[in-house]
Structure 1
Amino acid sequence: MAKVLVPLADGFEEIEAMAIIDVLNRAGNSVVVAGLFDNEVEGANTGLKVLVHDLLKDVDPEEFDLMVLPGGLPGAEHLAKSELVQEYIKRMNEKGKLVGAICAAPWALKEAGVLEGKKHTNYPGFEEKTGQEGYIPDQKVVIDGNVVTSRGPGTAICFALELVKLLNGEAMYQQLKEGLLADYC
């Protein structure tokens, strides 16, 4: 079982966050959802408020195998501009641990310097924030070493399944993919 850290900031993309949290939990991973600013975090589109047990400042990134960032605005901007998030991404990356981001959140990976020389994808138009170098516009999920990125809400389940494959192996990936009827991934 892997340990996964999912930071949430106000303005997170609900579909992405819930897909990531749900699919990684279904694979048997320990998923810790931590609020960047508060224990109550509001989504970008629905006004949905999520209560989280932990604040990001109170968790140790060294304990995790993966840190994965949902997109949405202004959530992704909060993550990209947070010194704490930048520090955690850098620490995870330096240890060769997995770092992932979807939609607008690869912006935070760029700010932390982990997209340097890496292939990546993001929500269309956000390559101005993530950089044209290495940008791949036509893949649902791009994996380059320990960096995993995806495009947006419609690719969230595929993204989460690829994270499962990396953390839990092919058999668990296939089992969940079949169970979720995600043959489009």
Structure 2
Amino acid sequence: MAKVYEFLADGFEEIEGLAPVDILRRGGVDIKTVSITGSELVETSHGVTIKADLKFEDISNFDDADMMLLPGGMPGATNLNNHKLLKKALLEQNAKGKRIGAICAAPMVLGGLGLLKNKKATCSPGFQKYMIDAHYTAELFQIDGNIITGEGPAATLPYAYKILSFFVGEKATEDLQEKMQYAHLMNK
């Protein structure tokens, strides 16, 4: 079974953090939320407190990660960007050629690490200036190599379903879209 870690910081955007967790778990992917706050409790950008599955410091390494995810939101993305050990883990993940995803403002973390250099990427409008040497596409989501980026809240569902398809294939993803009534949106 695929293993995904999603890193949560105070100020993350709720839909960008929780919808991928919901969709991946429904699809059978082992996804764990990881708080970088020093506590299991993380406060979202709109004041909702959630309990993460794990604390960053309780994990010795992320060698088993098939993918790492960063939700956006402010100041969540800035808080992710300020976490040195997370950035080290992202660099190690990328060096192994393993998947990384970031949405909304969070691609700025990848941009600052040089992971988007000469890659197509998207983000919340206005944050492209932080995607150093990337080719900004303004798409809902953009895949280039091992990295997928998403534009923002409205992109969350297509972004999350695309991530699910990496692990379970297109047919199983389409089946889940149908069960979650997402297919209705695609037919309008």
Shorter-chain TM-score: what band? over 0.9
Do 2:123 and 2:149's aligned partners in 1 also have CA atoms closer than 8 Å? yes
Aligned to 1:31: 31
Instruction: Look up the match of 1:78.
Output: 79
TM alignment of 1:130-145, pairs within 5 A: 130-131=131-132, 133-137=134-138, 139-145=139-145
Identity in percent: 36
Provide the C-alpha distance between the structure 2 equivalents of 1:29 and 1:133, rounded to a whole number of angstroms: 29
Contact 1:23 1:160 in 2 (8 A): yes
In structure 1, C-alpha distance between the alignment counterparts of 2:63 and 2:113, rounded to whole Å: 17
**1:11–1:43: 8 Å Cα contact kept in structure 2?**
yes
Match of 2:65 in 1: 64
CA-to-aligned-CA distance 1:43-98 (integer Å, 9 cap, x gap)? 002x1101123111222211110001000000000111211111111111111110
Match of 1:105 in 2: 106
Give aligned pairs, total: 183
**Unmatched runs of 5 consecutive residues or more in structure 1:** none
Give the structure 1 partner of residue 179 of structure 2. 179
Asked whether 1:87 is paired with 2:91, we answer no
Write the distance in 2 (CA, Å) between the matches of 1:36 and 1:112: 18
Contact 2:103 2:151 (C-alpha < 8 Å) held by counterparts:
yes
Q: Output the CA distance in 1 between the equivalents of 2:182 and 2:175.
A: 10
Output one character per residue of 1:144-168: Cα deviation in whole Å (capped at 9) or x when no partner: 0100000011110110000011121
Q: Look up the match of 1:167.
A: 167
**Are residue 11 (structure 1) and residue 11 (structure 2) matched?**
yes
Which AA in structure 2 matches 1:15?
A: I
Aligned-partner SS, 1:63: coil
Q: Distance in 2 between matches of 1:167 and 1:19?
A: 17
Contact 1:76 1:104 in 2 (8 A): yes
- Secondary structure of 2:5 counterpart: strand
- SS of the residue aligned with 1:169? helix
Q: Kindly indicate whether the alpha-carbon contact (under 8 Å) linking 1:57 and 1:84 is maintained by their aligned counterparts in 2.
A: no
Look up the match of 2:116: 115
TM-score by length of 1: 0.94
- Matched position secondary structure for 1:114: coil
Shift of residue 132, structure 1, vs aligned partner? 6.2
SS where residue 22 of structure 1 aligns?
helix
Check conservation: 1:24, 1:164, Cα contact below 8 A. Answer: yes
Asked if the contact 2:117–2:132 (Cα under 8 Å) also holds between the matched residues in 1, the reply is no
Amino acid of the residue matched to residue 126 of structure 1?
Answer: F
How large is the RMSD of aligned CA atoms in angstroms? 1.3
Unaligned runs of 5+ in 2: none
